[in-house]
Structures are given as structure tokens and as C-alpha cells.
Amino acid sequence: MSRNPRYDILFEPVRIGPVTAPNRFYCTPHALGTGNMMPHTRAAMREVRAEGGWGVVNTGYCSIHPSSDDAPLPNCRLWDDEDIRVHAMMVDAVHRHGALAGVELWHGGSGTGNRLTRMPQMSASGISSDSTYPGWINLTRSRPMDKQDIREFRRWHVDAAKRARSAGFNIVYIYAGMNFGPYQFLLPWLNKRTDEYGGSLQNRTRLTREIVEDMKEAVGQDCAIALRFSTDELLKVPSQAMESEAHEIISMLSEVPDLWDVKSSSWVRETASARFTEQGAQEPINSFVKPLTTKPVVGVGRFTSPDAMVSQVKRGILDLIGAARPSIADPFLPSKINEGREDEIRECIGCNICVSGYHDCVPVRCTQNPTMGEEWRRKWHPERIAAGDPDTSVLIVGAGPAGLECARALGQRGFAVTLAEARDELGGRVTIESTLPGLATWARVRDYRTNLIQAMGNVDIYRGSLLSAQDVIDFECDHAVIATGAGWTREILSTDGYAISGFGSDRVFTPDQVFAGAEPEGPVLIYDFDHYYMGGCLAELLRQRGCEVTIVTPANAVSAWTFMNNESVNIRERMIELGINTVFEQFLTGFKNGSAELTSIYADRSVSSRDCGSLLIVGIRQANDELFQELNSDADRLADAGVRSLRSIGDCRAPGAIAHAVYSGHECARTIDAGDSVTPIAWERPRLSL
Ligand code: ADP
Ligand code: SF4
């Protein structure tokens, strides 16, 4: 297949200072959860994107000095020459595929905790930018930078830029955004200085200008200097000369950097999930930049559609299509467009599981792309997989995310695959959950896989086929894979951590009952003991249906876990907007005659009651593993039928997020012919030579 000429513009080279990007696909700096501690993993995670056609591949934030340390979050660093080697590994990997490598040099100023290095934070005026944001509270406050500090601050950037050049990087960033060092000088409410670095806008931009010019002088012959700049806050600051201070800063520095990388000041807003923003949502904060500079402009927008990308370029919004999440979900997105295979793009669903990986301080993982983070450790490639034996038959029972991914990957390997699904529709939980408010993109988990599977001659799909253990036995397959999912129970844990039940009233519902068509009578009390999206999404759904809704939870926030994937603020705002009531820090301990008994999580265990028409328990999920258990309990029966292996995968094995189910299905497909063990013991691990 060949490329659709409509997309030719995306494959034009773009000059960036002294270097040239081979196309407009630009993998923006983003944290990977590896830091310098996992150089092989990092190099492989970046390399695969260069291989997949991204013309520029950047590191995540890279500290230039120990006074900027984000521990325990895994940032990378270029503190001294010893740090060059681990970066060179990534640069070489990226260069092998003809892409440019960039490094996001970073000093966090007061926006970082320095928990590991224990150096005082520094900032323009000693005002700590993030100190009021609960998740990032530091006990320390920053100190104002004196002139010597400013001189050193500039020198650290230059030294790091030289090291970056030694590592082979082609693009070197200065980070004047997102509440980090130089950005704090730009904001009038954080910069109260009375010297030449404070006061007028010209003075507040002085440090940023100086650093860009210093870096240009030091490495500008060889490397492009990119300026990463946040516009959203400064767009609201009026200026006498132009529409806003953001406009004025860009005009003043217009031709100083070689590249403008424009973004939001808030990671939470910038990475808003698909539940809250559409593709291209950054346009209001980056579309004004291009008319103010002749230098190329890059920005993000969770772009997965080549038409949307072309539109950005043609309408003069962006020169380079920046991507973090779309490149995680599909490292080969550019190649697929180039080869006319757009319908094979594994589109990001905007769920932000990747973000949670970084917050967990582990390599980012992805709902759509189970190989992300496993490229080096398990040698999983996002597009390639070892061929299997076409005469070996595999029966997969259940076509949710786990079963579909397993079927897709086994089909790709060439096995003779049969996929049986009880329902008429494929997709299991994603088909159901994608009907919830804001979750429509989740259907992409199903669509990407069914699209590929349906074109495979070696995968047969049987819909409307509820299989029993005897059916599996009668099928006489070589391998049986049970992917029958999980269900919501009415079980929750008590104040003492014991499972409690006793919610048998017909006024008590589970999410599965709502999905099956039940219409709980309002007012509805939702007890959220799950803490991810389900409680909040069902609250939205029932509110849309006109019910009065109250969410009760023992946590201190709605969907408390979503702090990890940057959704919590948006969810809270949505609840307020829709008039959904919230009651925090209460256990549900009983339900009788339309009244829920609530017990405080605190030591006094004070008890109260709340009247409601219905109680919806978003409680504990339990595996639907009866089929697996029955088959697993009779090894002779399996052996007699010639079944060489039996496995359970996905929620049937251990209920979790969709990402876990996809991963489990993929792992099964990779290892089905590798013997009994599904537990990888031969992972690559970085080893120290002492
Ligand atoms: P996962 O997230 O692990 O993929 P899901 O709950 O999304 O799990 O999907 C499980 C699928 O298995 C559902 O579509 C369900 O209809 C199907 N299923 C459950 N039991 C059987 C069975 N005995 N035979 C065929 N399909 C089944
Ligand atoms: Fe997109 Fe979700 Fe994958 Fe992140 S985890 S890249 S948001 S699909």
C-alpha cells in the first residue's frame, strides 16, 4: 500500500536551526518513568518510536544540576560527564533509524522538591510555585536567587548543553514552562525582584533570553536550541503593547530560539483525559504563536488522526505535530500513515494509565500498547512477534480486551485461533463501558483489535456462543485460554477490613445491573469502594437520567485513585458542575428500609444514616472463573481431550484495569508455546559491575 497524497505534507522535512527533522512527526519530551536508572529500558522505549517513523524523539525532563531533583519521580539528569554515557545509549538508538534526538534540559526552580539531594530549592523571589497543590506539597520553601545564583544557573544550562552535545543530541531544550525555573521569572506573581531580572516584561524575560543565547553560543553550531514555553497563564495577563504578556514574550524572543515548543503550564490540564478533552484541545493556547515567529512551532493535542494533523499544519497552527500519548499507544503511527495503513493505527484512548505509571515511578505502561516498557526487558516489539506453529490450535473463551488482544497476537503469530464470545458483540467490558459519559474512545481497544482479527484467515470468531466446560473439552484444541472477565459484586470491606455482604435488598444495585438495563430509583446513593472511574461515571450517567445522586466513599475524594492519572481535578469539577453530592470518609456499613448506615473512618466510628431510593454499590470485582476452575480441576479430562495447556487471562485471572487485561492477553500470546510458566523469570535487569 502506498501513502495517501493527502498526507504528504506530514512527511516534509522541517529545518530546525542547524538540523533538519526528516518529517513533521515530533515525539515531544515526556517522562517515561525510567530516569537514568534504567538506561536500557529508556533507550529501547525511545528507539522503537524512531523506528516507527517519528522524525524527532526527545528525552523526558533532564535535570541540569542537583538543585533540581524530582525524586522519587524518575527524572533523568546530566549533572556531570559521568551522566553522558547513559544518554548516548538512547541517542545512538534513535539515530540508528534516521531520527533526530532531543533532550529537555530542565531546572525545576521551586517547582521541585529536592528530596534526594536535600539542596534548598531556588526561585526568582523565594515564592514556592507549587506549595499549595496538595499532591506536591514539600515541607521546604525556596530561597530567592542572588546574582551569583543566576550566573551559576546560566552556567549549569551551558554545561549541560555541552554534555548533551557530547552525548550526540541534535536538539537541546531550555524549559521555561510548567512552573519550572526560568518560567518563574516570567510570571509577575512569582517574580517580585527589583533588579534587572524583575519588574518590566523585558526584565522578566531576561534570564530566559540569556540562557537561550548562552546555549546557542556554546552548542548552537551543532544543536538546535528549543524553547519550551507555557502560554496559558500568561495569556490571561494583560499587556499594554499586545493582547497578552504571552503574545509579548513570544514577540520579544521571537527569533531567539530555533524552535518554539508551546504547552500548558499545568500537567493536569495538558494531559486531560479523553473523558474531558477532545483531540486538538491545546489549540486555544498555541494557535497565536506561529504568526509571531518565523521559527518552527511544535505543540501537542493527543493527535491520532492524520487528517487532524494535516489540518494543524495547513491552518498554520503547528509546523511539527507533537505527541507523547499517541506515540506511546502506537510507536509506528507515522510509518502506518506513510504506508497507507491508517486503519491499523493503535489509537490512544486518552485514559492516562501511562501517566499513572510515571507517578508510580515505574516505566510508563499503556492500555492500548502492551509492549510499552517491555521493549528491552522482555524484548517485546510493538509490531513484530515470533511466528508460531500454524497447526497448533488455540481456543479463546471470551472476547473482552484480554481475549481480543490474545487472539490478535496469536493470530499474528500464525496459530489456528478460535475466539468464542457469549454475547453478540465483541469487546466485553470496553463495549459496555464505552457507553458511559466521556468514555466513547475506549471502544478503540475493541475496534483496533477486531479490525485486524477480522482480516486474518487463521482466526475464527463465534459470537453468541456461551461455552461450557464440556464445549471446551469437545473442541479438542491444543491450548485453551479462558478470558471470561469479572463481575461487580455487592461485597465491600468493613471498617475492620473484613468483607461484608448483606446487601440483598432489591433496592441495592451493582454496576453490572445498571449496564443490564436496571434503572435505580432516585435519589441514588453510590457507594464508591473502587476509587477509579466507575463510581464517578455512573454518577454522571444517573444524573443525566435526572436522578439526584450522592457519592459516598471512605476516601477523601471522588475517584480517589485518579490522582495517579491526572483526572482527579477534572472529575471533581465535573461532579460540582453536575450537582452531584459527595460525602467523604464514610464506610457503608448497612442498608435497611431505604436508609444507608454510614460509619466514620475515624476512631470514634460515629454512625449516621442517609435515606435514598436506591443504593448502587461500586464495590469489589470478582473473577468470572467458574469455567476455568471446572476445567482446571480435572487434568485428566483435559489431557484426554488433547488439551496441552489451560490458562486464565485478564479479569478472569485477576480483576484489574483494562490495561492489565490487554497486557495479560498479550503475554499469554507471546508465551503460549513456552511451557507451563506464565511468570517471566528471565527478565533483563540492569546490572552493576562493581
Ligand atoms: P477482560 O477485561 O478480562 O477481557 P471482559 O469482562 O471485558 O474481560 O470480557 C469477558 C468476556 O467473556 C465477555 O465479553 C463475556 O461475555 C465473555 N464470556 C464470559 N463467559 C463466557 C463463556 N462461558 N463463553 C463465552 N464467552 C464468555
Ligand atoms: Fe493513550 Fe491510555 Fe496508552 Fe496513555 S495509556 S498512551 S492515554 S491509551
Q: What are phi and psi of 88, to 5 degrees?
A: -60, -35
Would you state the cell numbers that stand for residue 558, as one nine-digit string? 471522588
- When pLDDT is averaged across residues 505-511 and rounded to a whole number, the result is 95
Examine the pLDDT at 165 and tell me if it is beyond 60: yes
Grid look-up 478533552 returns 277
Q: Ligand 1 in contact with 402 (CB < 6 A)?
A: yes
Classified as helix, coil or strand, 207 is helix
d(CA 653, CA 651): 5
Structural contact between residues 200 and 208, judged by C-beta atoms closer than 8 angstroms: no
Q: Ligand 2 in contact with 430 (CB < 6 A)?
A: no
What pLDDT does 138 receive? 78
Q: Ligand 1 in contact with 420 (CB < 6 A)?
A: yes
CA distances to 239, 514, 581, 589, 616 from 655, rounded to whole Å, are 54, 19, 29, 24, 20
Mutational pocket test of ligand 1: of 404, 405, 421, 463, the residue with most ligand atoms within 8 Å of the beta carbon:
421
Q: Ligand 1 in contact with 122 (CB < 6 A)?
A: no
In this structure, which residue's CA is closest to atom 1 in ligand 2? 348
Rounded distance from Cα 455 to ligand 1 centre (Å): 22
What pLDDT does 496 receive? 78
Structural contact between residues 595 and 610, judged by C-beta atoms closer than 8 angstroms: yes
Q: Ligand 1 in contact with 651 (CB < 6 A)?
A: yes
Structural contact between residues 401 and 658, judged by C-beta atoms closer than 8 angstroms: yes
Among the bound ligands, name the one nearest to the CA of residue 365.
2
pLDDT for 367-402, tens place per residue?
Answer: 999 999 999 999 999 999 999 999 999 999 999 999
What atom in ligand 2 is closest to the CA of residue 324? 6
CA distances to 373, 555, 566, 592 from 562, rounded to whole Å, are 21, 12, 6, 31
What b/e readout covers 572-591, taking b as 16+ CB neighbours within 10 angstroms? bebbeeeebebeeebbbbeb
Mutational pocket test of ligand 2: of 353, 369, 666, the residue with most ligand atoms within 8 Å of the beta carbon:
353
pLDDT for 236-263, tens place per residue?
Answer: 999 989 999 999 999 999 999 999 999 9
Rounded distance from Cα 560 to ligand 1 centre (Å): 28
At residue 688 the predicted structure's pLDDT band, cuts being 50, 70 and 90, is low
Structural contact between residues 646 and 482, judged by C-beta atoms closer than 8 angstroms: yes
* Beta strand spans in 145-268 (E): 171-176, 224-230, 259-263
pLDDT for 532-541, tens place per residue?
Answer: 999 999 999 9
Q: Ligand 1 in contact with 426 (CB < 6 A)?
A: no
Structural contact between residues 229 and 265, judged by C-beta atoms closer than 8 angstroms: no
Q: Ligand 2 in contact with 329 (CB < 6 A)?
A: yes
Low-confidence winner among 33-42, 151-160, 303-312, 662-671 (lowest mean pLDDT) = 33-42
Structural contact between residues 436 and 541, judged by C-beta atoms closer than 8 angstroms: yes
Mutational pocket test of ligand 1: of 471, 484, 515, the residue with most ligand atoms within 8 Å of the beta carbon:
484
Q: Ligand 1 in contact with 624 (CB < 6 A)?
A: yes
pLDDT for 2-18, tens place per residue?
Answer: 999 999 999 999 999 99
Rounded distance from Cα 415 to ligand 2 centre (Å): 28
Structural contact between residues 33 and 363, judged by C-beta atoms closer than 8 angstroms: yes
At residue 497 the predicted structure's pLDDT band, cuts being 50, 70 and 90, is confident
Of the candidates 618, 619, 616, 617, which has an alpha carbon nearest to the alpha carbon of residue 523? Answer: 616
pLDDT for 25-56, tens place per residue?
Answer: 999 999 889 988 899 999 999 999 999 999 99
Examine the pLDDT at 131 and tell me if it is beyond 70: no
* Partner residues linked to 228 by β-bridges: 175, 261
Examine the pLDDT at 650 and tell me if it is beyond 70: yes
Examine the pLDDT at 680 and tell me if it is beyond 70: no
Q: Ligand 2 in contact with 271 (CB < 6 A)?
A: no
At residue 682 the predicted structure's pLDDT band, cuts being 50, 70 and 90, is low
Q: What sections of 369-505 are H helices per DSSP?
A: 401-413, 428-433, 443-454, 469-475
In sequence order, the 6+-apart residues with CB closer than 8 A to the CB of 682 are none
At residue 334 the predicted structure's pLDDT band, cuts being 50, 70 and 90, is very high
Would you state the cell numbers that stand for residue 252, as one nine-digit string? 520579544
Of the candidates 326, 385, 375, which has an alpha carbon nearest to the alpha carbon of residue 669? Answer: 385
- When pLDDT is averaged across residues 594-600 and rounded to a whole number, the result is 95
Q: Ligand 2 in contact with 212 (CB < 6 A)?
A: no
pLDDT for 202-211, tens place per residue?
Answer: 999 999 999 9
State the Rg of the chain over Cα: 27
Rounded distance from Cα 332 to ligand 2 centre (Å): 15
What pLDDT does 498 receive? 80
What pLDDT does 158 receive? 98
- When pLDDT is averaged across residues 632-656 and rounded to a whole number, the result is 96
In this structure, which residue's CA is closest to atom 2 in ligand 2? 351
What pLDDT does 274 receive? 96
What pLDDT does 136 receive? 65
Amino acid at residue number 643? V
The bridge status of strand 524-528 relative to strand 549-553 is parallel
Q: Ligand 1 in contact with 630 (CB < 6 A)?
A: no
- When pLDDT is averaged across residues 334-340 and rounded to a whole number, the result is 98
Q: Ligand 2 in contact with 351 (CB < 6 A)?
A: yes
Amino acid at residue number 585? E
Low-confidence winner among 278-287, 288-297, 328-337 (lowest mean pLDDT) = 278-287
d(CA 355, CA 302): 14
Q: How many residues does the chain have?
A: 690
Q: What are phi and psi of 130, to 5 degrees?
A: -105, 10
Burial of 176 (0-12, 13-18, 19+ CB in 10 A): buried
pLDDT for 656-677, tens place per residue?
Answer: 999 999 999 999 999 999 875 5
What atom in ligand 2 is closest to the CA of residue 325? 6
Low-confidence winner among 108-122, 466-480, 654-668 (lowest mean pLDDT) = 108-122
In this structure, which residue's CA is closest to atom 8 in ligand 2? 348
Low-confidence winner among 142-156, 390-404, 487-501 (lowest mean pLDDT) = 487-501
Rounded distance from Cα 624 to ligand 1 centre (Å): 8
Establish whether the linkage from the previous residue to 523 is cis, with ω within 30° of 0. Answer: yes
Classified as helix, coil or strand, 248 is helix
What atom in ligand 1 is closest to the CA of residue 664? 3
pTM of this prediction exceeds 0.85: yes
What pLDDT does 267 receive? 84
CA distances to 239, 442, 479 from 395, rounded to whole Å, are 67, 25, 6
What pLDDT does 133 receive? 55
What atom in ligand 2 is closest to the CA of residue 352? 7
The bridge status of strand 586-592 relative to strand 595-600 is antiparallel
Among the bound ligands, name the one nearest to the CA of residue 274.
2
* Beta strand spans in 38-139 (E): 56-63, 76-77, 100-106, 122-123
Structural contact between residues 26 and 331, judged by C-beta atoms closer than 8 angstroms: no
Low-confidence winner among 127-136, 358-367, 499-508, 602-611 (lowest mean pLDDT) = 127-136
Among the bound ligands, name the one nearest to the CA of residue 348.
2
In this structure, which residue's CA is closest to atom 19 in ligand 1? 484
Rounded distance from Cα 354 to ligand 2 centre (Å): 5
What pLDDT does 122 receive? 95
Mean pLDDT (the chain) is 94
CA distances to 373, 408, 415, 454, 578 from 412, rounded to whole Å, are 21, 6, 8, 12, 45
* Sheet containing 581-584, strands listed edge to edge, beginning at the edge strand earlier in sequence: 508-509, 614-618, 524-528, 549-553, 581-584
Q: Ligand 1 in contact with 469 (CB < 6 A)?
A: no
Structural contact between residues 418 and 479, judged by C-beta atoms closer than 8 angstroms: no
Q: Ligand 2 in contact with 325 (CB < 6 A)?
A: yes
Rounded distance from Cα 364 to ligand 2 centre (Å): 9
At residue 679 the predicted structure's pLDDT band, cuts being 50, 70 and 90, is low
Rounded distance from Cα 33 to ligand 2 centre (Å): 14
Would you state the cell numbers that stand for residue 358, as one nine-digit string? 510515571
At residue 427 the predicted structure's pLDDT band, cuts being 50, 70 and 90, is very high
In this structure, which residue's CA is closest to atom 6 in ligand 2? 325
Burial of 457 (0-12, 13-18, 19+ CB in 10 A): exposed
- When pLDDT is averaged across residues 436-440 and rounded to a whole number, the result is 98
Rounded distance from Cα 400 to ligand 1 centre (Å): 6
What pLDDT does 23 receive? 98
What pLDDT does 186 receive? 96
d(CA 677, CA 683): 14
What pLDDT does 501 receive? 78
